[in-house]
Amino acid sequence: MAYIDFVSKLHSGTKRDYIERVAKGDKSECCTVAKQYGQDYWDGDRKYGYGGYRYDGRWRQVAQDMADHYGLKPGSKVLDVGCGKGYLLYEFTQVVPDLEVSGIDISEYALENSKEEVKPFLKLGNANSLPYEDNYFDLVYSLTTLHNLYVYELRQAFQEIERVGKGDKHVMIESYRNESEMVNMLNWQLTCRSFYSPEEWQWFMTDSGYTGDYSCIYFE
């Protein structure tokens, strides 16, 4: 298991006024709405989530870096667990021709409004029960998804990722290294159910039998 960062160049904080959301007393309502993963979460008011999650090409370099690192080539099979609208999967198809891409997400709204080019390859489902064959994918990745699971689901999700991947795996989760980052994360988050330090995440992944790589998002 190795710590490999592909995404921090895109994210180290947020311009969202999450402190105001907490101070106004509507944080619990925002969390309740966000956890439905519907239109409000993806394309509604920003207090409920993304505030409009539209394709802008920002994931192209991430796809290129991951493809280079994991040696993806035409014919490689790639699975995105928690694919959302499929933007990163689409970028993989642009940086490596003739990939076999698959994605799964719990949000019907995200899949219905996903990138048209990859929509046929996306499924509705949960990370803790992946509808794919054992040892099928050359790369399985999950970015900013697994921390949204309860701990009993989380263990199953790591085991499922391990089961369907015959090659490389990578997960990215939200975490904190100090009290300041923990407070920032707790104030910012809307959907997290698992809050762990990097050391705890590493222990949990190992204890679950996960052998792939990982990285963390911190709220500095």
Distance CA 93, CA 89 (A): 7
Q: What are phi and psi of 71, to 5 degrees?
A: 65, 40
Residue 144 has pLDDT above 60, yes or no: yes
Could you tell me which residues come within 8 angstroms of residue 64 by beta carbon, excluding any fewer than 6 positions away?
A: 91, 95
CATH of domain 18-217: 3.40.50.150
Higher model confidence: residue 16 or residue 181? 181
Q: For strands 100-105 and 137-143, give the pairing.
A: unpaired
pLDDT score at 10: 75
What per-residue confidence (pLDDT) applies to 24? 57
Task: For residues 215 and 13, give the distance between their C-alpha atoms in angstroms, rounded to a whole number.
Answer: 16
pLDDT above 90 covers a percentage of the chain that reads: 85
Please give the pLDDT value at position 175. Answer: 96
Average pLDDT score over residue span 94-122: 98
Q: Is the pLDDT of residue 14 over 70?
A: no
Residue spans per domain, the chain: 18-217
Going by DSSP bridges, is the β-strand pair 122-124/100-105 parallel, antiparallel, or unpaired? parallel
- Three state DSSP letters for 118-144: CHHHEEECCCCCCCCCCCCEEEEEEEC
For position 37, what pLDDT does the model report? 97
- The residue assigned the tokens 């959907």 is 191
Q: How far is CA 46 from CA 30, 66, 166, in A?
A: 10, 29, 38
Q: What is the pLDDT of residues 17-56, one digit of tens each?
A: 555 555 555 889 999 999 999 999 999 999 999 999 999 9
- The reported pLDDT for the residue numbered 13 is 47
Whether residue 134 contacts residue 161, with contact meaning beta carbons closer than 8 Å, is answered with no
